Chains A and B, each alone.
Chain A
C-alpha cells in the first residue's frame, strides 16, 4: 500500500514536471527568438543614423579624393572666393560653361531665411507658451494645445503654396519688396512650421518649473506678472533656449516652404526683401537634373552632409539642455 502510493505520488508530479519543462522549453525558444528580434530591431535607429552618415558621406567623398572632381572643385574651394574674372567672387552657378561653386550665397540664404522665421516665431511661441502654462484655464489649455499641434500637421508643401499665392502678395503690397518671392516671405512661411515645436518645448519647460517656486514668489507679495517674468521664466530659461535651438534646427533643414517661396536666386545679400536660395532648396532643385557621379552631384551630397552634421549638433545641444534642466528642477519625465 505504502509502496504503491509512493510510486503513484512520485510518478504523477514527475510526469507533469517533465511536461511543463518541455512546454516551457518550447515556449522559451520561440520567446527568446522574438525577444532577440525586438532587441535587434531596436538598434535600427542607431543603424539609420550611421547609414545616413555613411551613405551621404560616401557620395560626397569624391570631393575629397577624386582628382577628376578636383579639376572642377575641391572641398576647400567651396568656401574660397572665386578667382575667375567676371561676376562676383561669391557665385553659385554650377550649370554654366565654367561651373562656379561657392557656397556662401547658399549659407547666407539659409541663415537669412531662418533668422527671419525665428524673429516671427519666437515671440509668438513663447508668448503662447506663457499664456497656456501660466494663465489659461484647463479647458482653454485643452483646446489651444491640440490646435497649435494641428498647425504642425499642415504639410510644409501646403504652407509653401500658401506663402506663394497669399503671403507673397501681402508682403509685397505691405513692404514694397524688390522681388515678389524673397527671404521675408519664405521666413514668414517657415515660422508656421517652427511655431509648434518652439511652443511645445517652451511650454514643457514652463510646466516643469515646480509649483513651489510660484507659491513662494506670490507669498512674498509678487504679482503674477512679476512671478512669471522674474521667477518662472528664468527657471525655465534653459528649456526655452533649447526650444530656440530646436526651432533653428528645424528651420534650417526645412525644404519645401523655402523652395517654393524664397525665389531661389543665389544672392550674397543681407536684404531680406530680395530673393534667397537656401542649401536645402539647392539640393531639391538641382539633384534631379544632375548626372550621377559628376562633380556637381558630389557637391550636392556634400551640402547635404554638412546640413546633416549641422542639424545633428544643433539638435544634440538642444536635447542636452532640456535634459539638464529637467534634472536640475527635479522633474524627470
Chain B
C-alpha cells in the first residue's frame, strides 16, 4: 500500500511546491521591478545632473535665454511658495484632525462629511486645482480686493505667489490631516484621561498632552505636504508661476519661478534641446534631491515614532 501511494503523493507534493514557489517568485519579481523603476529614474537623473550641479548652478540666475547659468531664482521661488503654503496648510490641517479626533463623535454627520471631503480633496486632479485657483483666488478674491482696496488697479487680481501658495495649501491639506489624525489616534487614552482627571480642560489636554505626543506625526505630515507642494506644477501654471523673471519675488503679489515649472519649460519649449539638456538634468536633480530628502526624513520620523508607540515609550 505504501509503495502504491507514496509516488503519487510525492508527485502531488512536488506539483504543489512548484506552484507555491512560482507565486512567491512572481510576486517577489514584481517588487524587484518596482524597485528597479525607482532606481532607474533616480540613477538617470543623478547621473545626468551630477555634471551640471555646481555652486554656481544653484546660486546664479539663468543666462543667454535659458541656455546657460543657474536656477537660483527657481529654488528661491519654490522655497518661498512652499513656506507660504505650509503656513496656511498646517494649522488648518491640524485643526481639522483635532476636530475629527477630539471633538466630533464617530456618528456625527458633519464629521463624516468632513472625512469624505478630505478623502475626495486628495483625489481632485491637480490641474483642477489650477482652474480653481484662477477662477476663485484670482478672478474672484483678488479682483474683489482690488476693487475695494485699490480702486480697480490690478494688484491682487493677477497670478502671484500668494494665490499659488494658497492653491497648493488646499491641495496638500489632506496630507496634513491624514498624518496628524493617525498620530493623534495613537496617543494612549490613559494619557488623555489622566490629564482630564487632574482637572485640565479639554483644550489644555489637547495642547499640552496630545499635540506634544503627536508632534512626530504632525511633522511627518508637514514634510510630506512640503515635498508634494514643491514638486507640483499643474496647480501653479495659471496662478502665479513665471517662465523667466529678472528679479526675485519680494511681495506676496509678485510672480515667481519654480523648479518644477522650470523643468517643464526646458523640457517642452526649449529652442535648442541638446544645449539645454544639461540644465534640464541639473534642475530635475535639484528638485528630486529636495523632494527625496524631505520624503526620507518623513519616513524616518514616522517609523521612529511608530516604533516608539509600539514599545509604549
Contacts and interface: CB of A to CB of B under 8 A. Distances in A.
Contacts of B296: 150
B35 A144 contact: yes
B127 A253 contact: yes
Contacts of B267: 157, 160-161, 164, 260
Nearest first, the 9 A-B pairs at minimum CB distance are: A253-B125, A155-B231, A127-B30, A42-B99, A131-B27, A315-B123, A153-B295, A41-B95, A55-B135
B91 A46 contact: no
A283 B19 contact: no
Nearest to A47: B117
A312 B120 contact: yes
B118 A45 contact: yes
28 contacts: A34-B203, A39-B99, A44-B96, A45-B177, A46-B113, A52-B132, A124-B30, A124-B34, A128-B31, A131-B28, A154-B41, A155-B260, A157-B260, A157-B267, A157-B287, A161-B263, A164-B267, A165-B48, A195-B34, A225-B16, A225-B22, A256-B234, A260-B267, A280-B234, A308-B125, A311-B123, A316-B116, A319-B120
Interface string A306-328: 01100110111001000000000
B231 A157 contact: yes
Contacts of A48: 117, 121, 170, 173
Interface in B282-303: 284, 287-288, 291-292, 294-296, 299, 303
A203 to B, nearest CB: 11
Given A38-B103, A44-B173, A153-B291, A288 B237 contact: yes
B128 A52 contact: yes
A159 B41 contact: yes
A287 B135 CA distance: 12
Interface residues of B, number: 92
Interface in A160-176: 160-162, 164-166
Interface string B37-59: 11011101100100000000000
Contacts of B268: 259-260
Interface residues of A, number: 90
A249 B132 CA distance: 19
A127 B38 CA distance: 16
Q: B-side binding surface: helix, strand, loop or mixed?
A: helix
A254 B23 CA distance: 32
B308 to A, nearest CB: 15
B145 to A, nearest CB: 16
A148 interface: yes
A150 B230 contact: no
Given A128-B30, A148-B34, A256-B234, 19 more contacts: A27-B201, A42-B103, A43-B114, A45-B117, A45-B174, A131-B27, A148-B38, A150-B38, A153-B231, A157-B264, A158-B45, A162-B45, A164-B267, A165-B277, A223-B19, A252-B125, A284-B237, A308-B128, A315-B123
Contacts of B277: 165
A249 B287 contact: no
A179 interface: no
A37 to B, nearest CB: 7
Given A127-B31, A150-B295, A58 B135 contact: yes
Given A52-B132, A55-B135, A319-B116, A161 B127 contact: no
Contact of A59 (B48, B113, B131): B131
Given A52-B124, A142-B303, A144-B31, A256 B264 contact: yes
Contacts of B132: 51-52, 55-56
B201 A154 contact: no
Interface in A40-79: 41-46, 48-49, 51-52, 55-56, 58-59
Interface string A199-229: 1000000000000000000000001111011
A43 B114 CA distance: 7
A268 interface: no
B126 interface: yes
Given A225-B22, A260-B268, A284-B237, A155 B125 contact: no
Nearest to A41: B95
